[in-house]
Amino acid sequence: MALMTGEQYVESLRKLNLKVYMFGEKIENPVDNPILRPSMNSVKMTYDLALMPEYEDLMTTKSALNGEKINRFCHLHHSTEDLIKKVKMQRLCGQKTASCFQRCVGMDAFNAEYSTTYEIDKAYGTNYHERFKKYLEYVQENDLTVDGAMTDPKGDRGLSPSKQEDPDLYLRVVERRADGVVVRGAKAHQTGICNSHEVLVMPTIAMRPEDKDYAISFAVPTDAEGVFMIIGRQSCDTRKLEEFADIDVGNKKFGGVEALTIFDNVFVPWERIFLDGETEFAGMLVERFAGYHRQSYGGCKVGVGDVLIGAAALAADYNGAAKASHIKDKLIEMTHLNETLYACGIACSAEGHKTESGNYIIDMLLANVCKQNVTRFPYEITRLAEDIAGGLMVTAPSEKDLNHELLGPYVQKYLKGVASISTENRLRILRLIENLTLGTAAVGYRTESMHGAGSPQAQRIMIARQSNLGHKKALAKVIANITE
């Protein structure tokens, strides 16, 4: 089964014995839970699009491992064209869901693991690379969704993993056996893990020799013994539980979800381990994954931005303000910012190069510039969208009021905008803008733009490392005719 249908994906999740908790209770059926279902629908869209002829070139490709047709989310990039198509695919998925579609982290982890394991084997004579290739073939053959797990809780940021008062604040090996290891710890902010078949764990920072037990990378099924998830709270999330919820939700069908994922003495067999104690390679794995993931934001956030810009333009139409010069200028500015993000995503892809292992990596400097822009521009796009929408976006009565026998006629009468547009449709577009800027999609757009793929300062550190100031100084000396 090289490609699953969307419905096959849904049914495959039903077969998992996931341990998911939300609001203090265990969720017995995560697939159909009204809060979680929209996030699963977003992942399902990545399967549906792959089977549509018009998107085949973007959504599917040929496996570099077995030559079979696979979903691009399971792919190893083997050219700059692959890197560019990845960004275009992510923009498409963002446009179709207006949310986080959750498969990017696994894809970025695959590519970072592939090249890093090759170089570990070269240095130490280990067999991590072959183990990982075998694992990825399994993922590709079954068209699995894999959660990439990097971020540890971290505890005291001023202390290294092994110096923490509680040693479990970074995930670590607590026992070694003849057939594998036992790990304990947690991974925070796990996007879409309750919609994933597997979790691929990586270290979260560069390691020192004394942190050897924390330099671990492995994969286990998401329903492995000892793995459980605590769903993160989002603004407006319980609107989905309201009877006949529709307009008030904003984006009824799609959404994102995060979880604190606990690894409580989880056994990992040796064939699923891809780094174990080689501390000097932990930093390489982290930086390569971060580079790929920062490239991703030049696609996914742009696609969601396309929807937000469209919603703001419709709000202006419905308010009767579309012809105002300041509205036109704000929409131009939103488009300029959004396309600048896309340009960075394409640029770091086009400037990519081949690694020793054979797969391609992005230009690291441009990837970090891309993500640094993403920490800023979506906030301005959001501000402008809220400006265009007007205060009614956050003060509108509920859907129940709109449909109420007594109150409804007043809501219909006094919240009317342009005469040809129904009050209901005006409220629908305002609720979508609210969802994208303030509500449950804020995790997938605004706030995630700041903290996803590392903090803004992490990108600035990488920009400093990659900026090659010595070369720039030499250029200036030649032009200024300076000899030393």
Annotated catalytic residues are 100, 104, 191, 258, 293, 297, 300, 448
Phi, psi of 437 (to 5 degrees): -105, -30
Using the Cα atoms of residue 232, residue 439, residue 144 and residue 106 in order, give the sign of their dihedral: negative
Residues 6+ apart with CB under 8 A from 346: 84, 87, 298
DSSP class of residue 91 equals H
DSSP 275-327: EES-GGGHHHHHHHHHHHHHHHHHHHHHHHHHHHHHHHHHHHHHHT-TT-HHH
Q: Is 379 helix (H, G, I), strand (E, B) or coil?
A: helix
CA distance 426 to 474: 59
CA distance 193 to 172: 20
Structure tokens at 253: 């069908």
**Amino acid sitting at position 484:** E
CA distance 136 to 77: 13
Cβ–Cβ under 8 Å, residues 159 and 122: no
Tell the burial category of 109 from Cβ atoms under 10 Å away from its Cβ (0-12, 13-18, 19+). Answer: buried
Residues 6+ apart with CB under 8 A from 82: 61, 75, 360
Helix, strand, coil share (%) of the chain residues, nearest 5: 55, 15, 30
Using the Cα atoms of residue 386, residue 387, residue 390 and residue 395 in order, give the sign of their dihedral: positive
Cβ–Cβ under 8 Å, residues 3 and 71: yes
DSSP 221-284: ETT-TTEEEEEPP-TTGGGGGSTT--GGGSSSS-----EEEEEEEEEEEGGGEEEES-GGGHHH
